[in-house]
Chain A
Amino acid sequence: MSSSKNSGKTPPFGSAGTEWRSVLEALDGGASTHSGPSDDDIVNEILTRWDELPPRERERLEQHPVHGTQLARLQQAEGWLREQLPEGEACPTSEELYDYGRGPGYVAIDEGRRAEIEQTLNACSALGACACRDVAASLSTMPPVPLEFDRPDAEAPLEVEASPTRPAAATASRPRLLRASWKPLAAAAALVVAIGLWTQGNEGTDGGFPAYPPLRGEAEQALLFPRGSVLSAGFFATAPRFELAPVDGAERYEVVLLRHAGDAFSPGERLFELEGESPVLLSDAKLDAGGYTWSASAFVDGLRQPLGERDFQVVANPELQKAVQGLEGVALVRALHEAGHDSDARHAARLLPASEERDAYLAARPGR
């Protein structure tokens, strides 16, 4: 893995740095695959940053009956990624390819650039050889097993599929914060997912996904998420996803987003509207810090049914950002959820591979 990971911002293995050696020792001889959620975090971090391990520790990890296999897969994956690296400057970058392929957290590419990329790929395909051959080829071959993306929307059977959404006429450009950790290879994001898969596997049985407290009943709610606070950097605000309770017979849904000053009475200024056939509507717009109101309608037999309004606040919360830095998988979901950032937590959960626990979490409703 690239050394750019440890660019001086954090010590090796972050806060877990003082503990990883003891964890590795505990793993010696296959004593344990995981001894608890905190150890899981450390093991995951060790696996993610295996290339930073001293040779002796790396060897110890390679010999571990469970984590050794995981490490081998990671190494295999990384080798594959290296092979896909483009040579020519004119080729689309891996990041652009990622966006072109619309992976999780992708950024919408403008139509002009999309057409150029498409032209390049078509040319490569037609000619059989071109400067960007390797890049084009990377789209046609399947990556090794751990890199196989779990498309969150497609593999969340308990969730409603997002439909093609008509976005606002004017959409702001999105920040790249979410993807910063995935550079330089777009596909490195896959590793995050892959690690998340293991993390989820471990933690899902021990602690697992968070849950809402039992209530004496449940309010009928049409506008589900977003709600409450969402982080301005990363997560929900970079890929707003508006989730509604399905309405019987609805042929389409509409969401209007307004920004307001955060006071009690102001209606706010209309930012954009979205519409689609699914009760889940996606936007490309980046949401800056501030107060927002979203309202929604369903259309049944051509008649509009106003479904209500709900507020959410996009906040810069450096403390929480710091706290979740380095967290992955269920641990990240739990940290965000427990901080009251349900929408961000759901965003993180959707990036995890489908599982019974994850889907149950995504299907759960706050009840009020």
Chain B
Amino acid sequence: MRGWIGGVTNGARLAHVASADGFVPLLVAFVAPLIVASAQTTQATGETTTPVGTSELGDEARRRSDLTRFLELLEQVRGGDDDAIDELRRLANHVCVAWRRCDTRSIAAFYAGLSADERRAGSQAEEEFRSLRREVAAASRTTELWPRESSRLTRELRAFVARTEDRADFTPAARAYALLARIEKEKALAWRTLSPGQETEREALLERAHADAEISIAAFERAGMRTPQLEPLWVLGRVERARGRFDRAREHYAKCDTLADAVGRGEYRERALLGLIEIAKDTGDVARLDEHVAELATIVSVDTHWPLAREHALRLLHMDHPDEALEFALDHPPVDDEDMAQWHGLLAACFLRSGDALSAAQEVERIGADQGELTILARASYDLDAGELGPVSAALESARRESWSYQGRTQAHWLLGEAALKRGDAVEAREHLERTLAMAATWRSRQLEAGGSVVGEWIGVHAVTLLAEACVDLDDPLEAARVIEAHQAQRLRATASELTSKQLVLRARAYAGGFVTWSVGADSSVVAHVRNDGNAAAARIEVGRRALERAVRRLREATLENDSARASRIASELSTVLFPPQIATRLAALEPGARTLLLLHGPLEEVPTSLLVLDGKPLDDRLTALVLPGSIDAATVAAPADWRATRWTLAGSPLDAGGQALLPHAADELEALAALHPDARRVSGASFERDALTDALRGTGALHVATHVVPWSPCTSTTLSAEGLLLADGDVLCAEEILALQPRLNLVVLAACESGGGRFVDAEGLHGVGRAFLEAGTRNVVVSLWPVADEAARHFSLAFHGALSNGLAPSVAVREARTSMRASGLPSADWAAFRLIGRD
């Protein structure tokens, strides 16, 4: 099953939607929405009222009345009436104080500073400009006329600007600049396919649009006018996005959004947010995407705003909630007929992913002859699911993909690869899928900050899994392992995707049992084992992401509910799937206790591996499992240590406001550990402060922390969870602060709640406190997968440190601690949570 068209949008369509009805908004933009009676007056300045949602109708009426009066007076002043200036100023002050529209003061000051003749000249120029703008609006509605007329009107606008921009009232020229920027931007973005010459011309147009918009903004700023800056700000956002300068585009859109909010121009907020949504998609920044979509929903109704409804439904689909996406899409059909094909395409994708091929087929039929990107992809997804592989290739190959969005083109290669794989042509499949991932890598390089993973968030790890499957079909298991590792958890490596098979084999040699890695795709998964001698095996797993997520969740829940029989049954089923016979046989043949690295990706990162079984025995009884969320460069982490000689810092046991220990067993724990490590530095109770912990993080050696991991909203990382370690006096050291301190310790024990959890970024893994240590270069981190009971944490810590003091490696010590707790009859909820993330 596929239908993963989530994340794909028709850029051209959205551009159209964003610009509403072509140039019509251009006119609307200069008309105050609330002051109907004085619309003409408003056009004179472009200033508008703030349609605040006040429930005080009396206030609102007075506000409108004041603003209307202000605009009338302004018109009088601009017409040369000096007597109205004082009243205009007084009213401007009143409007500023009463209605918080203080731009009225600067506007009044600007015109009051001009002579009557200068104002009259400006007013006449304004009239001339309006006439030109009407012509532009009319021409823009006629496709045939527009290319010729736009050139003529551009020339006329330039002439107008030349005549008027040096006048004392330069605001009509500023408006003309804004209009020119808009025309140039539209012309530049109208080109879908470009010859080399056109590329140069397009760039020149964008450059001119940029320059004109900036001149316009600067002029309005000088005149103290805020509202007229909205249009050129929005144009700047679009221009910069078209040039791929996403950071600048985001800045302009954000400014446009803020200004529109301040002056109450919802339509510009809408445009700016749509622009920000597109940038978030361009850059794979899912967190921002969700934020902007949610923000847009606060100003428009999702019931009538198709772009918003579409984005939200696609997002649900992308998160693999097809039923919810379907229900939502069915409840929110587009208003315009021209969007219906998109809607049917979306429904087809939802039905397909929900397993309802018949309904999907009906929706595909309803798409009709529409050749939009989304609909072609939906049709191809359906054909692929139905086993109609010929039409898939034909449709996608013949589609004018060069005019598609980058996402759409990437998806096309993915579908072609999947079709080839289904046909049994693994060579062609590999070609398409490698291209898919190469495109994703290019995309990734565009990312401005490390907030997301394009491979994971947009392309989906499914493409990685399919490529690994192609490698399995080509009997190249080592390459399957390389593909899996190269395209996941890239943030852990400086070399990103440039991971070679040779490097992989070298890494396997560090462990007696080699390493095992998995890639979890939408509908299937792949597992690969690379033995210590470099010999590899790989197998396809017929279980996809949702089912694995479900199994992991059920295992965790059954464990936490102390339902051991159920947990055992689920663990057994899960183990059978994760270790198919080809892999299980190899692992069972290893020496008992062999150190084996498990590279857990996607939903598997949350698996309590100690509950898995191999060859009928608990995994802990067969192997010493080390866990990592991906392959890490050796150079980026601290060097291995002699654990018996390592100096410890024992930290934690914060106090409450009354000076009592928040975690009674944490205090006991640190006390007992101090006996084991007599030269350890103690930082506990009231002294467990930020500075003390920071010092420890900057040092060397090992650190044991017994405290709470707490959600903490002041932590603002876009990547890591908003959480941190609870210190004395209720202070919290955020995960991002830990990362920023770059602790390169040998070993950190986080005897705290769910320290191995965090925000999940697909293809990158869980991002919380534990991950912060790992990314910073700490070699080994002992974490818990769920909130552990205070007493159980103490029990584990003592057992672990005891084993470590006996000279065992951290991975073996963790296993020994778990095993001893299990042997003493403690429930698995108490011991299965602990794991070592690291390499010893």
Residues of A at the B interface (CB closer than 8 Å) are: 213-220, 227-229, 262-265, 267, 293, 297, 300-304, 306, 309-311, 313, 340, 367-368
Contacts and interface: CB of A to CB of B under 8 A. Distances in A.
Q: Which of the listed residues A264, A293, A368 has the most CB atoms from chain B within 10 Å of its own CB? A: A264
19 contacts: A213-B789, A214-B663, A215-B788, A216-B709, A216-B753, A264-B555, A264-B573, A265-B551, A265-B577, A267-B546, A267-B550, A300-B294, A302-B297, A303-B293, A303-B297, A304-B328, A310-B553, A310-B557, A368-B787
Contacts of B319: 306
Contacts of A368: 560, 753-754, 786-787
Contact of A306 (B302, B321, B546): B321
Contacts of B582: none
Interface in B777-792: 784, 786-791
B550 A219 contact: no
B303 interface: yes
A265 B570 CA distance: 9
B312 A219 contact: no
Q: Which of the listed residues A263, A300, A301, A313 has the most CB atoms from chain B within 10 Å of its own CB? A: A301
B131 interface: no
Contacts of A367: 787
A216 B790 contact: yes
Listed from nearest, the 6 A-B pairs whose CB atoms lie closest are A217-B753, A301-B297, A228-B561, A264-B573, A302-B302, A264-B551
Interface in B547-569: 547-548, 550-551, 553-555, 557-558, 560-563, 566, 569
A265 B547 contact: yes
B316 A214 contact: no
Task: Decide if the interface of chain A is mainly helix, strand, loop or mixed.
Answer: loop
Contacts of B790: 213-216
Contacts of B561: 227-229, 340
Q: Which of the listed residues A216, A219, A229, A263 has the most CB atoms from chain B within 10 Å of its own CB? A: A216
Contacts of B666: 216
A292 to B, nearest CB: 12
Contacts of B560: 368
Contacts of B557: 227-228, 310-311
B793 interface: yes
B512 interface: no
Contacts of A214: 663-664, 789-790
Nearest to B549: A309
Contacts of B297: 300-303
A215 B753 contact: yes
B324 A217 contact: no
B451 interface: no
A301 B546 contact: no
A263 B753 CA distance: 28
Interface string B719-735: 00000001000000000
B711 A216 contact: no
Contacts of B751: 216
Given A301-B294, A304-B324, A265 B550 contact: yes
Interface string B694-718: 0000000000001111110000000
Nearest to A262: B566
Nearest to B295: A301
Interface string B303-345: 1000000001000100101001001100000000000000000
Nearest to A315: B563
Contacts of B664: 214
Nearest to A270: B323
Nearest to B550: A265
Contacts of B566: 262, 313
A229 B561 CA distance: 8
Contacts of A313: 563, 566
A264 B570 contact: yes
B298 interface: yes
Given A265-B547, A297-B324, A368-B560, A218 B573 contact: no
Interface in B595-617: none
A306 B546 CA distance: 14
Nearest to A218: B787
A106 to B, nearest CB: 29
A229 B548 CA distance: 22
Contacts of B789: 213-216
Contacts of A267: 546-547, 550
Contacts of A303: 293-294, 297, 302, 312
B573 A302 contact: no
B834 to A, nearest CB: 12
A311 B711 contact: no
B199 to A, nearest CB: 39
A169 B390 CA distance: 43
Contact of B752 (A217, A297, A302): A217
B272 to A, nearest CB: 17
Interface string B782-825: 00101111110100000000000000000000000000000000
A228 to B, nearest CB: 4
B65 interface: no
A367 B574 CA distance: 26
B445 interface: no
Interface string B410-424: 000000000000000
Nearest to B301: A302
Contacts of A264: 550-551, 554-555, 569-570, 573-574, 577
Contacts of A304: 312, 316, 324, 327-328
B139 interface: no
A228 B556 CA distance: 11
A293 B321 CA distance: 15
B826 to A, nearest CB: 13
Nearest to B325: A304
A215 B790 CA distance: 5
A219 B547 CA distance: 23
A273 to B, nearest CB: 10
A284 B147 CA distance: 66
Given A213-B789, A265-B577, 13 more contacts: A214-B664, A216-B788, A216-B789, A218-B787, A227-B561, A229-B561, A265-B547, A265-B551, A267-B547, A302-B301, A303-B302, A304-B328, A309-B553
B134 to A, nearest CB: 37
Nearest to B547: A265
Given A303-B297, A306-B321, A215 B787 contact: yes
Interface string B749-785: 0011110010000000000000000000000000010
A303 B563 CA distance: 36
A219 B786 contact: yes
A37 B790 CA distance: 28
B84 interface: no
A216 B707 contact: yes
B1 to A, nearest CB: 13
A68 B35 CA distance: 78
B543 interface: yes
A268 B557 CA distance: 17
A306 B752 CA distance: 28
Nearest to B355: A267
Interface in B37-91: none
Given A264-B551, A306-B319, A310-B557, A216 B787 contact: yes
Nearest to B794: A216
A367 B792 CA distance: 15
A139 B706 CA distance: 59
A347 to B, nearest CB: 17
B787 A217 contact: yes
A306 B706 CA distance: 33
A293 B790 CA distance: 29
B754 to A, nearest CB: 6
Contact of A265 (B321, B327, B543, B706): B543
Contacts of B550: 264-265, 267, 293, 309
Contact of A219 (B321, B570, B754): B754
Contacts of A213: 789-791
A310 B558 CA distance: 11
A303 B297 CA distance: 7
